[in-house]
Amino acid sequence: MLRDHRPLVVTFADKAAVREYVADRVGMRYLPDAAVFDAPTELLTADLPDALVLKPTHGSGAAIIVSPSAPVEARLPEDGSWVYRHVRPEHAPREHLVRLATDWLSQLYGQGPNREWVYGRVPRRIIVEEMLGGATDRIPDDYKLFVFHGRVQYVQVDAGRFAGRTQDFFDRDWTHLPLSGGPPWADPTPPRPAGLDEMIRVAEALGADTDFVRVDLYDVDGRIVFGELTSFPAGGDSPFHPESFNTEFGRHWTVPRRYR
């Protein structure tokens, strides 16, 4: 965050611009359907599906997911809080989505010039993606692949984001690691996904031009779908327990003396 100010890192962080990078490296077939809007009011007349994901392009950790499988009692926040929320279509009126999106675009995401500085260089827009629920309209598990110098070394699996969230870490051979990042482990342990080899190929292609990036992917009924590229997971503040895994992860990373 202090030293790597390459335009490539800004592209990774921009949820709209990164789509062109992904299409060029691995093909359009891995991208979710999406539309980008410069002004939130465009949402009022846009042809949107009943199930969708609404996000700002210039930050992380905010998303409104609209689909029939949301809890009956779930509601949108009243303001543009930087949160995840899953609601049913009848509880997501366009006018409310516009208010939330407008508030998002008024905010500069990131903490100061030396923290997640990339987001200050990303145009503030709104992106609407297809909801990746598959046949069951279920929020899919999130596979986060840690790529060091073009090679996947670890995979983090987050499940149950809106209810009973779990988090597990594996090496590339799917050996479960005795590592906690905060949420509890899943019980039973997540099985090796059938699409793991394909996910590794995609992640390594996307991370080939940098020393480190986390590549987030989904496996939706056998379809591998791109989520995002993250150069600064959790802004560098995600703890590992035990701390020895800081060294374990870091041994794969040779930080360049100078970024060009």
Q: How far is CA 228 from the centre of its chain?
A: 4
Q: Classify residue 228 by burial, with Cβ atoms within 10 Å: 0-12, 13-18, 19+.
A: middle
Indicate whether 251 and 188 sit together in one domain.
yes
Domain carrying residue 115: 33-131
Same-domain pairing of 190 and 247: yes
Q: Tell me what pLDDT residue 250 has.
A: 95
Using an 8 Å Cβ cutoff, are 229 and 215 in contact? Answer: yes
Mean pLDDT of the chain: 94
Query: What pLDDT, in 10s, does the model give residues 162-182?
Result: 778 999 999 999 999 999 999
14: helix, strand or coil: coil
Average pLDDT over residues 147-160: 97
Query: Which of residues 131, 148, 183 is at a domain's end?
Result: 131
The pLDDT value recorded for residue 114 is: 59
**Residue-level pLDDT at 134:** 76
Partners of 144 in the β-ladder:
156, 216
Comparing CA positions, the residue from 101, 95, 121, 100 lying closest to residue 109 is 121
| Residue 217's pLDDT band (cuts 50, 70, 90) | very high
pLDDT band at 154 (very low <50, low <70, confident <90, very high): very high
Q: Are residues 54 and 20 in the same domain?
A: no
When comparing pLDDT for 140 and 112, which is higher? 140
54/140 same-domain check: no
Residues 55 and 136 in one domain: no
Element (H, E) at 20: helix 18-26
Q: What is the mean pLDDT of residues 190-204?
A: 97
Domain match, 229 and 250 both? yes
Residue 48's alpha-carbon distances to 35, 124, 131, in angstroms, are 9, 20, 11
Question: Are 152 and 235 members of one domain?
Answer: yes
Last residue of a domain, one of 100, 131, 162: 131
Same domain, 243 and 115: no
Question: End of a domain among 108, 131, 154?
Answer: 131
| CATH number reported for the structural domain that contains residue 204 in this entry | 3.30.470
Q: Do residue 122 and residue 212 come from a single domain?
A: no
Q: State what percent of residues in the chain have pLDDT above 70.
A: 98
DSSP assignment of 114-163: TSSGGGGGS---EEEEE---GGGT-PPPEEEEEEETTEEEEEEEEE-TTS
In the chain, how many domains are there? Answer: 2
Is the pLDDT at 136 greater than 80? The verdict is no
Q: DSSP letters along 52-92, please?
A: EEEEETT-SS-EEEE-TTS-TT----SS--S-EEEE-GGG-
Token readout for 227 is 């989520």
pTM of the model: 0.95
For the segment 37-59, what is each residue's pLDDT rounded down to a tens digit?
999 999 999 999 889 999 999 99
From the list 209, 170, 204, 208, the residue with the least C-alpha distance to 190 is: 170
Q: What is the DSSP letter of 222?
A: T
Q: Distance (Å, rounded) from C-alpha 185 to C-alpha 155?
A: 14
Confidence of residue 137 (pLDDT cuts 50, 70, 90): confident
Task: Please choose, from the candidates 127, 125, 126, 131, the residue with its C-alpha nearest in 3D space to the C-alpha of residue 50.
Answer: 131
One domain for residues 157 and 250: yes
> Would the pLDDT of 2 be above 60?
yes
Asked if 137 and 242 sit in the same domain, the reply is yes
Dihedral angle over CA of 80, 9, 224, 201, nearest 10: -160
**pLDDT per residue over 8-40, tens digit each?**
999 999 999 999 999 999 999 999 999 999 999
Report strand pairing: 126-130 vs 52-56. antiparallel
Q: Based on the domain organization, do 76 and 205 belong to the same domain?
A: no
